[in-house]
Structure 1
Amino acid sequence: MSIFGFIGTWTLALQWQHTFKANGIQNIAGILVAGMQGIYGDMFTSFYYLVTEFIGHYSWKKRRNDNGELVVDKKFGAKDVFLAIFFWTIGLGFLSYWMGGQKIVLDALTNGLSFTAQQRQVKGHLDGYYIWLLVDFLSFMLFISIGNQIVAFSYLGMFAQGLVGIMIWKKGKGQA
């Protein structure tokens, strides 16, 4: 799971069109790991990611300019971001609570933010990266708190990759 997470995060930063395939494999592993550990919000988030990998692949194809560069929207969509975070966090928190999940508040918060970051990024918005940084830090805290150090530290690695991704996406020539 962690290896494909790193590959997917790095290739996303590089705006490689096939990043969605590597991320899809990581999402399948994420569904299995989170489900076995009772972190149901994270499990459903991984399923959501898996679905959005298809959307992202086709969205990015349409967002490329004549030179093949991804056209990145560098404006912060505050209204869209805050509404999505609010609804995803409450919805996933309720679902996790209903299923008897662990660490429900932290699980719901990381997943509400994750859904929002994924939605923004598959549509080519730079602000998704800033949300991912927060998600990676909170996910580190979540997995440390349940005793899964391997997954926890993989989130710190993805945090570092996210910082690089921001720099690359900011430099990009394509812009909406």
Structure 2
Amino acid sequence: MKDTFNLKIIFKELTTMTIKDNLLMSVLLAVQILVYFITGSFDLMSNLSLIVGIFTIVNLILVNRGRLTNYAWGTVSAVFWLIVAIKSQLFGDMFSQIYYVVMQFVGIYAWQKSLNQTETKEVAPRKISLKMGLLSLVGFAVIYVIVLATSAHLNGQQIILDATLLPLAIIGQMLMTFGYRSQWLAWFLIDFINVVIWYNNWQFQGNSALGMFILQILMLVNAIYGAYLWFKKPSIDEYQKA
């Protein structure tokens, strides 16, 4: 916990990324900030979206590399995203962000344990078993039905799509927490669904929602890069055999 939120370590991990990482992060941040100024909408939603965008992008770049301090950025991102979800009446997204906040601290423990096992600065990925994959599918179906019914009862927005976010978030974050490569399938689906949801919000809410819509596209782009890095890395089993 102390290492994750240590400003010195946070700065060190940011400055020891590869050129490709820094280039991707710079481009994604530049796009997010540029969109903020182009829209000319500096209301509360736009300002919150900018904060979410900046912290989420840095968080994702660090996740790509398996760096522990991603959880410091992820915690701030999830808190502000929760506020955005509340204002947008997206109950599935709301439940997802509450879950993300809690799981940041579980992830810190799990990733630190993994780093201690491999004695490296980056988390080594694991391979998912068939049994765990099937359990994930069953878990998704059960939670989806529960969230869908809850959102409908609360008169939520875009409930059919929105209800997918919590079960996918639970699966994706659990897989990420314990270092499984398969997490990226969940992130792909979440990012794609969020692109659709926030496009619809943009059409309904106007430019105040454009920042969040652009963020979803940027997250989808990053997911492609992150998946490439995680599937390219040696697995933890290979580390242990070596």
TM-score, normalising length: structure 2: 0.69
Q: Which residue of the partner structure matches residue 141 of structure 1?
A: 196
Q: How does 1:1-176 map to 2 (within 5 A)?
A: 1-64=52-115, 65-75=118-128, 77-147=132-202, 148-176=209-237
Alpha-carbon distance in 2 for matches of 1:123, 1:95 = 29
Unaligned runs of 5+ in 1: none
- Distance in structure 2 (CA, Å) of the matches to 1:54 and 1:27: 12
Comparing 38-47 and 110-119, the one that deviates more = 110-119
Task: Tell me the secondary structure at the aligned position of residue 10 of structure 1.
Answer: helix
Stretches (4+) displaced over 6 A: none
Q: Which runs of 5+ in 2 are unaligned?
A: 1-51, 203-208, 238-242
Deviation at residue 105 of structure 1 after TM alignment: 0.6
Q: Please identify the structure whose Cα radius of gyration is greater.
A: 2
User: How big is the shift at 1:68?
Assistant: 4.0
In structure 2, how many angstroms separate the alpha carbons of the residues matched to 1:91 and 1:62? 33
Q: Deviations for 1:124-159, whole angstroms, at most 9, x for unmatched residues?
A: 111011210111011010111122222121011011
Superposition deviation, residue 18 in structure 1:
1.1
Write the deviation string for residues 37-82 of structure 1: whole angstroms up to 9, x where unpaired: 1111101110100000001111111112123442311235421320
Q: Distance in 2 between matches of 1:160 and 1:18?
A: 21
2:123–2:179 Cα contact (<8 Å) kept: yes
- In 2, the alpha carbon distance for the partners of 1:66 and 1:8 equals 22
C-alpha distance in 2, partners of 1:84/1:62? 26
Q: Check the 8 A contact 2:173/2:183 in 1, yes or no.
A: yes
Name which of structure 1's ranges 104-113 and 89-98 shifts more when overlaid on structure 2.
89-98
Identical pairs, percent? 20
AA in 2 matched with 1:117: G
Q: Please report the RMSD computed on the Cα atoms of aligned residues, expressed in angstroms.
A: 1.5
Judge conservation of contact 1:133–1:159 (CA < 8 Å) in 2: yes
SS of the counterpart of 2:236? coil
Equivalent residue letter for 1:37: S
Cα 1:51/1:154, change in 2 over 3 Å? same
Tell whether the 8 Å contact from 1:69 to 1:173 is kept in structure 2 after alignment: no
CA-to-partner distance for each residue in 1:92-142, whole Å, 9 max, x for gaps? 222222222111110001332122111111111110112101110110101
Q: Distance in 2 between matches of 1:113 and 1:143?
A: 17
Counterpart Cα distance in 2 of 1:13 and 1:84: 26
